[in-house]
């Protein structure tokens, strides 16, 4: 699906002088530098038949880098993305990049539901580009026109095209506060929130700290128990889930430990080497997606390289990693709060360590839990039709709350 199917650019909302169209493009010098670095990559050795068992498959990455240097057409992808309704908005002291795609008006004069979609790592607004037309114009895609949304997809500070904070990175709760302010700037008093990964936590804090504004919240995960939780108080399935999560962390969580503790060390190499940057991101795309080990079953090469090129051109790999450190410092009492806003969860089969129902009930006022047949951690990109259907069905009962 082409991103050009989403709404075309439109003026910023009246009365919001801090919102302005986004028109940035990469320069020829930046692209020449990228290609020169790719062609000069100094490759590591790899044990015979290592494949993906030790991290990135170097043989696959070499093919990807060759295509990135001599086949990938970034200007064409950039032009396609610029056909989206993209803006910059001044929120506090930061310029925030966002997509603000307005709905095709539902029949009968009903107001569309405003919806903020919250991304995670290692992505950006990229995560949601495929679902935009499905949410803003459902009638054109075989769904009920009454399920249309006004969709807002901001890049978190230090991610994508948003400003990189000059001081400490904001945590998920601080980002939720920024998004509440952003929605006010855009003229929305009440809205829905949805997200996954770090975006799940941002959505959670929107519901916790702004329950008078968030009509309902949809998430694809529920986070880990607060450090103060007593395992003896947990159900058997929760305890089993904790063991699974610990095993996953031991086998797959080294990246997060680096992000929490020494992000600047890794950032030096990843900011200097586009091949290194691709290795850091591509390995996670494969490991966390419902692709059966075949990365390109879920993503075309151009789609992978669109994400990685955005990280390269914006220089945000270091600033994005630092958010892990900020979130690790959140007080335990914040992690233990229960969401009382109506909550829904879509647990995709290929996602990371899916939480049990008991965990969801313990931490949120659950009104809906589903298990779609396909999709992983990046379900909105992997399976946009399924993800859009999940959002339409979950938010349908709450539309009257914004009328």
Q: Is 377 among the residues known to form the active site?
A: yes
Q: Is 324 among the residues known to form the active site?
A: yes
Strand partners, 120: none
Question: Which ranges of 132-171 does DSSP label H, i.e. alpha helix?
Answer: 132-136
DSSP characters for 204-229? HHHHHH-TTTEEEEEES---PPPTT-
Could you say which of 255, 324, 381, 387 is catalytic?
Answer: 324
For the chain, how many helices (H) and strands (E)? 17, 9
- The beta-strand segments (E) located in 245-350 are 339-346
DSSP characters for 103-125? PPPPGGGPPPEEEEEE--TT-SG
Cα separations in angstroms, 362 against 28, 146, 241, 348, 397:
53, 33, 14, 20, 23
Could you identify the residue written with the tokens 């945590």? 171
Could you say which of 57, 171, 197, 351 is catalytic?
Answer: 197
- Contact between 170 and 326 under an 8 Å Cβ cutoff? The reply is yes
Could you say which of 97, 100, 210, 377 is catalytic?
Answer: 377
Name, in order, each residue with C-beta under 8 angstroms of 136's C-beta and a sequence gap of 6 or more: 6, 7, 101, 102, 103, 104, 148, 149, 150, 151
| Beta-sheet pairing, 149-154 with 214-219 | unpaired
Report the C-alpha gap between 118 and 124 in whole angstroms.
9
Cα separations in angstroms, 253 against 247, 292, 344, 353:
9, 20, 27, 12
Name, in order, each residue with C-beta under 8 angstroms of 275's C-beta and a sequence gap of 6 or more: 37, 38, 41, 43, 61, 65
Report the C-alpha gap between 338 and 363 in whole angstroms.
5
Report the C-alpha gap between 2 and 132 in whole angstroms.
10
| Beta-sheet pairing, 214-219 with 339-346 | parallel
Tokens representing 115 are 């919806």
Catalytic residues: 197, 324, 377
């Amino acid at each position: 699906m082409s991103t050009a199917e989403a709404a075309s650019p439109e003026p910023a909302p009246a009365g919001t002088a801090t919102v302005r169209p986004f028109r940035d493009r990469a320069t020829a010098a930046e692209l020449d530098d990228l290609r020169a670095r790719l062609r000069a990559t100094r490759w590591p050795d790899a044990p015979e038949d290592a494949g993906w068992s030790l991290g990135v498959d170097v043989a696959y990455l070499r093919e990807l880098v060759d295509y990135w240097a001599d086949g990938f057409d970034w200007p064409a992808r950039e032009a396609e993305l610029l056909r989206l309704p993209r803006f910059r908005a001044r929120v506090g002291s930061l310029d925030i990049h966002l997509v603000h795609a307005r709905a095709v008006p539902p029949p009968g004069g009903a107001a569309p539901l405003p919806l903020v979609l919250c991304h995670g790592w290692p992505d950006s607004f990229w995560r949601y580009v495929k679902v935009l037309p499905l949410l803003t114009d459902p009638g054109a895609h075989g769904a009920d026109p009454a399920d249309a949304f006004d969709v807002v997809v901001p890049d978190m500070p230090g991610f994508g095209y948003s400003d990189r904070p000059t001081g400490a990175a904001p945590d998920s709760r601080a980002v939720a506060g920024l998004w509440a302010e952003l929605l006010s700037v855009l003229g929305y008093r009440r809205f829905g929130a949805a997200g996954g990964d770090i975006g799940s936590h941002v959505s959670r804090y929107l519901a916790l700290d702004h329950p008078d504004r968030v009509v309902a919240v949809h998430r694809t995960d529920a986070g880990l128990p607060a450090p103060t939780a007593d395992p003896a108080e947990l159900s058997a399935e929760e305890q089993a889930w904790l063991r699974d999560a610990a095993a996953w962390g031991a086998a797959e969580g080294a990246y997060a430990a680096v992000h929490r503790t020494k992000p600047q060390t890794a950032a030096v190499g990843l900011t200097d080497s586009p091949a290194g940057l691709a290795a850091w991101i591509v390995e996670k795309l494969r490991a966390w997606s419902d692709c059966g080990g075949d990365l390109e079953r879920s993503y075309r090469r151009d789609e992978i390289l669109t994400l990685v090129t955005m990280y390269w051109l914006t220089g945000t790999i270091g600033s994005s990693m630092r958010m892990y450190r900020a979130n690790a410092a959140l007080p335990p009492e914040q992690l233990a709060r229960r969401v009382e806003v109506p909550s829904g969860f879509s647990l995709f089969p290929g996602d990371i360590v899916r939480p049990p129902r008991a965990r969801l009930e313990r931490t949120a006022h659950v009104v809906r839990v589903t298990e779609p047949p396909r999709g992983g951690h990046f379900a909105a990109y992997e399976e946009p039709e399924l993800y859009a259907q999940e959002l339409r069905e979950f938010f349908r009962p709450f539309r009257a709350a914004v009328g």
